[in-house]
A and B are shown apart, each in its own frame.
Chain A
Amino acid sequence: MTFDLGQVALIGIGYLLLLFGIAWITERGWIPESVTSHPITYILSLGIFASAWAFYGVIDLAFQYGYGALAYYLGTGALFLFAPVALAPLAELARRHQVHSLADLLVFRYHSHSVGALTTLCMLCGILPLLALQIQAIADTMHILTVSGNPSLPLETGLTFKDIMALCYCAILAFFTISFGANRDQHRGLVTAMAFESLLKVCALCAVGLVSVYGVFDGLDGLDQWLLDHPENLALLHTPIHTDSAHTLLLVFVATAVTMPHIFHLGLAENPLMRNSHTVTWAFPLFLLLMALPIFPILWAGTELSVPLPPQYYSLGVPILFDSPGLTLLAFLGGLSAATGAMVIISLALATMVMNHWLLPSLKLRTRTDLYSQLIWLRRIIIAAIFAGGYVFYWVLDNRFSLAHLAMTAFIETLQFLPGTFAIVFWSKGNKRGLIAGLSVGTSIWALGLLLPILTGIEHLHLPLGNINIPVGIEYWNHVTLISLGLNTFFFVVISLLTRQTDDEQYSAEVCAADELSHPVRQALDVHSASEFKHRLAKPLGKVTASREVDIALQELNLTIDERRPYALRRLRDQIEGNLSSLMGIHVASEIMDKYIPHVTAETQSTVDINLIENRLSQYRDHLTGMAAELNTLRLYHRKTLEELPMAVCSLGRDMEVLMWNRAMASLTQIPTEDVTGSYLEDIPEPWCSLLIDFSQSKEPHFYRREIELNNRPHWISLHKANIEGPITAGVYDQVMLLEDVTETQLLEQELVHSERLASVGRLAAGVAHEIGNPITGIACLAQNLKYDSSDPKEVLETAEQILSQTDRVGRIVQSLVSFSHAGHASKTEFEAVSIRDCANEAIHLLSLQKEKNQVLFCNDIPKTAIIAGDAQRMIQVFINLLSNARDASPEQGRVMLESNEDEDSVTVSVTDEGHGIPPELIERILEPFFTTKEPGEGTGLGLAMVYSIIEDHSGHMDIISPADPVHNRGAQFVITLPRHLDAFMDA
């Protein structure tokens, strides 16, 4: 069965169009988000791990090592099984610091540019065989499908027709990758496309497996019978296991999930599943199981059908010999898909590494033109170069090695990264010198033992010293693996122990270590606003790029450009650094940030970043176990206690940064917690700013009753504070402050003082009235006598009249004093139902008799139902006083309004005039006895004081509103609230 060349070309291009079409429509949002962000999509995208080697080469591995081949799946499966421990910390680091490749992660951890460059070099050397493997698989399968009538591989070497087919496919694939993948923002599309790719290949492989079992062997029973008939096949399964090599195989494959660039790219850097879900712990091993299950049936079916191909192409050979064009096509597409997916992601990942660690540090990008398009073009060129490199490598090898050999070569090199990667999270003492030495030694041994032999074909290394010939080559992969990894680890550990870390490296190591929560130090910035970031970054990035990057970071953090809080600015700096590092690599990004927005090393010992610790603890909550979890629960409890404490509490760092601001504090100050936490005290609104700064700087531990103005009303606040010893250094103190709103107490006290004064004046008035009353009566009698006894009546009469009128006046004053001082004596039991309306009418009638005064219009709108419990005579007195004051204040023909409101148990009466109102500074005083604004002789100053005391006796109260008409700024309103007469209420 042969396919036409045109057909295969069409299938290949059609498949690429489909794959990139899926990526494209995902980016357009045409595929619902429930599909693209479903865990299954992410799990399947991790299937990129199974490249063409897992589709074809693993059958060969099974042929050579029997069950040992399963090590390929079990090693990686085990790593994912323990993902929450083994991979999640790396994934978390990758997310937090926007790390997209292993090289970036190593640079971040070991704080050295040379580590990045060396890693990139080793990775490139190690991955080229893997790229060549994919190309070889594509070339071979295309050849099998098209050229050979009977499936077979060409024997001739040199540039053959299948090489040209492979070249064409590579060129088209490179074109697609460049046009789609060069832009860094298209990850969701890529993830979905790779998920589709994995789905296709797992379906294809399972279909071939099913055909092998049910088509070739007539079901599982048939297979068992065949194995009984051919025991050598079962022996082939078991025998190789007993050699050491199976053990080493497991070691080779265990590291792939972390160290292979394409798996790191999709698995750790892009995958939200790894960090916060345990789904991956079982779902990915399940995927691997599905990939591994058909291996042995396919191998045996190939043996049974005597497929004239090496075992590595049995996956394709079995359907061909089974004579099923549909299945053959599916198998071909599965293999093509596996190779394509791996090549796309490998080239993208390697391009990022090469750009970030080789080119960007040495190139000076022109900042004035568009930085983004420069970066994209650079990336495109590198992707094309990597494809070209892979193809050249494939062509140089000239099909002399099986897929398994190439894969082993690649995997053993990536294994060299294992010690350094392990130390990222689990060994904070490992340093860059150790890493560079270990990696160099391991890679050199690998290069001499495996890479050089496959490139040049040598079989022995001649050591001039001692004249020894060391056998090398892929046959000795087992020894090369153990020696290279062993010496790598040895040098890494020994040199790390012998040399010292720099401070920066130590800091990064602590950040990376699993117990990093211990003390993230709060480093100060000398930037004071978000807009300053734009200004500073304009120099290295160009104005447009800097502004755009800052805006993106602000948007991601939900902050505004006016942000001034140091805590938020530190987060902004981290975010920008992360974004830049995803754009141009962690090394260049940190260089730019360190140069233009450096951390200022404080003169004193830096303070612990409490906010950051809290933030991280809440993120890590699910990861905490045992004592740590209990301590965290305790912390949460204490935190809640402080948060919900019904007293306003805040705490300040040594540099006046607000560390805590509890709920009561937020409601007292009307400043929300999230706005103020992390800001400097000087940035919070007045009047709190000056009050708290004064207090925190003062030596006194208490401030009593500081008066502040809030909403145009005076408030009184008492403050208390204590020092807390800082968590790092003894002798460095943070402050905790407690604020107490004592406004109500203050007002009550003022009222008490006022009533006390009124009461004492009342007592004084009673005494004075009594003392004055007697002599006045005497004077009046004498004047009376004088009037009648006089012989010259005219003059004397006049004098007597005057005396009488004066004593009359004194008598009136005394009378009001007496009634004022007796005000509190009426007993409440004598109260009866009083109609307010009638009292007011009575008062209005009395006032209308005084013709010499201002004539005003009294409008009595009090309804008849307004009935209170009280003394009618004294209520009339209240109205006479209020209405006469209103009349005196009103202009001629002004209006004085009387209105009332009722509710269940009280009646509110208001008297409003249109006069000039009461000046605000006098409102407090007009209830005082003897206080009057009228001309001498006009008023006694006792009227309102008496009204007040009568109202008090009726268990009511009185409010004064001035101006009553704020629009014209005039008028005064007296509002009296009195208890309602309950019987009257019942009757109504």
Chain B
Amino acid sequence: MNNQRLVILLLLIAYIFSPTLFNWIINPEGAWYRPYIVWILVIAIAFAMQLRRKKYNDLD
């Protein structure tokens, strides 16, 4: 329950480093839809985590 502060810290760090991340993602050398690919990857990870969680809960 109390690890939420950690998550908030992570969010803060993500916010601070997001310009660097942004610059990497939108490197002019890459295709214009590069950010979207990263976006899809994030969605896929979230989906996979949900599947794992479901499995874990089912075993419970």
Residues of A within 8 A of B (CB): 67, 70, 74, 77-78, 81-82, 85-86, 224, 227, 234-235, 237-238, 241-242, 246-247, 250-251, 278-279, 281-282, 285-286, 289, 292-293, 296, 426, 514-515, 517, 620, 622-626, 628
**Contacts A241-B23, A289-B39 given; does A85 touch B1 at CB 8 Å:** no
For B54, the closest partner residue in chain A by CB is A278
Q: Could you tell me the distance in whole angstroms from the C-beta of B26 to the nearest C-beta in chain A?
A: 5
Q: Could you tell me the distance in whole angstroms from the C-beta of B58 to the nearest C-beta in chain A?
A: 12
Provide 24 A-B residue pairs closer than 8 Å at the C-beta atoms, listed in order of the A residue: A67-B22, A77-B39, A85-B4, A224-B31, A234-B32, A237-B26, A238-B26, A241-B22, A241-B26, A246-B22, A247-B18, A251-B15, A279-B50, A281-B49, A281-B50, A282-B47, A282-B50, A285-B46, A286-B43, A289-B43, A293-B36, A514-B4, A515-B1, A620-B1
In the bound assembly, the distance between CA atoms of A624 and B50 in angstroms comes to 16
In the bound assembly, the distance between CA atoms of A285 and B35 in angstroms comes to 13
Q: Binding site of B, secondary structure by majority: helix, strand, loop or mixed?
A: helix
Partner of A282 from the list B32, B36, B46 (CB cut-off 8 Å) is B46
**Is B39 a contact partner of A278 (Cβ separation < 8 A)?**
no
In the bound assembly, the distance between CA atoms of A227 and B31 in angstroms comes to 10
Quick one: which of A85, A237, A625 has the most chain B CB within 10 A? A85
Q: A246-B19, A514-B2 are in contact. List 8 more A-B contacts (CB 8 A).
A: A241-B23, A278-B49, A278-B53, A293-B33, A293-B36, A296-B32, A622-B57, A625-B1
For A227, the closest partner residue in chain B by CB is B32
Which residues of B are found within 8 Å of A238, using beta-carbon distances? 26, 28
In the bound assembly, the distance between CA atoms of A77 and B35 in angstroms comes to 13
**Is B36 a contact partner of A426 (Cβ separation < 8 A)?**
no
**Is A234 a contact partner of B28 (Cβ separation < 8 A)?**
yes
**Is B8 a contact partner of A282 (Cβ separation < 8 A)?**
no
Q: How large is the interface on B (under 10, 10 to 19, 20 to 34, 35 or more residues)?
A: 20 to 34
Which residues of A are found within 8 Å of B15, using beta-carbon distances? 250-251
- B59 sits at the interface (CB 8 A): no
**Is B42 a contact partner of A81 (Cβ separation < 8 A)?**
yes
Which residues of B are found within 8 Å of A242, using beta-carbon distances? 23
For A622, the closest partner residue in chain B by CB is B57
In the bound assembly, the distance between CA atoms of A514 and B26 in angstroms comes to 37
**Is B46 a contact partner of A81 (Cβ separation < 8 A)?**
yes
**Contacts A67-B26, A246-B22 given; does A426 touch B35 at CB 8 Å:** no
Which residues of B are found within 8 Å of A279, using beta-carbon distances? 50
Q: Could you tell me the distance in whole angstroms from the C-beta of B16 to the nearest C-beta in chain A?
A: 10
**Is B43 a contact partner of A82 (Cβ separation < 8 A)?**
no
**Is A626 a contact partner of B32 (Cβ separation < 8 A)?**
no
- B55 sits at the interface (CB 8 A): no
Which residues of B are found within 8 Å of A517, using beta-carbon distances? 1
**Is A281 a contact partner of B46 (Cβ separation < 8 A)?**
yes
Which residues of A are found within 8 Å of B14, using beta-carbon distances? 78
Q: Could you tell me the distance in whole angstroms from the C-beta of A112 to the nearest C-beta in chain B?
A: 25
Which residues of B are found within 8 Å of A247, using beta-carbon distances? 18-19
In the bound assembly, the distance between CA atoms of A620 and B35 in angstroms comes to 36
- B13 sits at the interface (CB 8 A): no
**Is B7 a contact partner of A85 (Cβ separation < 8 A)?**
yes
In the bound assembly, the distance between CA atoms of A645 and B19 in angstroms comes to 60
Q: Could you tell me the distance in whole angstroms from the C-beta of B46 to the nearest C-beta in chain A?
A: 4
Which residues of A are found within 8 Å of B4, using beta-carbon distances? 85, 426, 514
Which residues of A are found within 8 Å of B8, using beta-carbon distances? 426
Q: Could you tell me the distance in whole angstroms from the C-beta of B60 to the nearest C-beta in chain A?
A: 9
In the bound assembly, the distance between CA atoms of A285 and B46 in angstroms comes to 10
**Is B50 a contact partner of A82 (Cβ separation < 8 A)?**
no
In the bound assembly, the distance between CA atoms of A514 and B39 in angstroms comes to 30
**Is A285 a contact partner of B43 (Cβ separation < 8 A)?**
yes
Which residues of B are found within 8 Å of A282, using beta-carbon distances? 43-44, 46-47, 50
Which residues of A are found within 8 Å of B47, using beta-carbon distances? 282
**Is B2 a contact partner of A515 (Cβ separation < 8 A)?**
yes
In the bound assembly, the distance between CA atoms of A70 and B36 in angstroms comes to 10
In the bound assembly, the distance between CA atoms of A250 and B5 in angstroms comes to 21
Which residues of A are found within 8 Å of B7, using beta-carbon distances? 82, 85
Q: Could you tell me the distance in whole angstroms from the C-beta of B47 to the nearest C-beta in chain A?
A: 4
In the bound assembly, the distance between CA atoms of A246 and B54 in angstroms comes to 37
Which residues of B are found within 8 Å of A74, using beta-carbon distances? 39
In the bound assembly, the distance between CA atoms of A406 and B49 in angstroms comes to 38
Q: Could you tell me the distance in whole angstroms from the C-beta of B36 to the nearest C-beta in chain A?
A: 6
**Contacts A67-B35, A85-B7, A234-B28 given; does A289 touch B40 at CB 8 Å:** yes
Quick one: which of B1, B5, B7, B26 has the most chain A CB within 10 A? B1
In the bound assembly, the distance between CA atoms of A396 and B42 in angstroms comes to 43
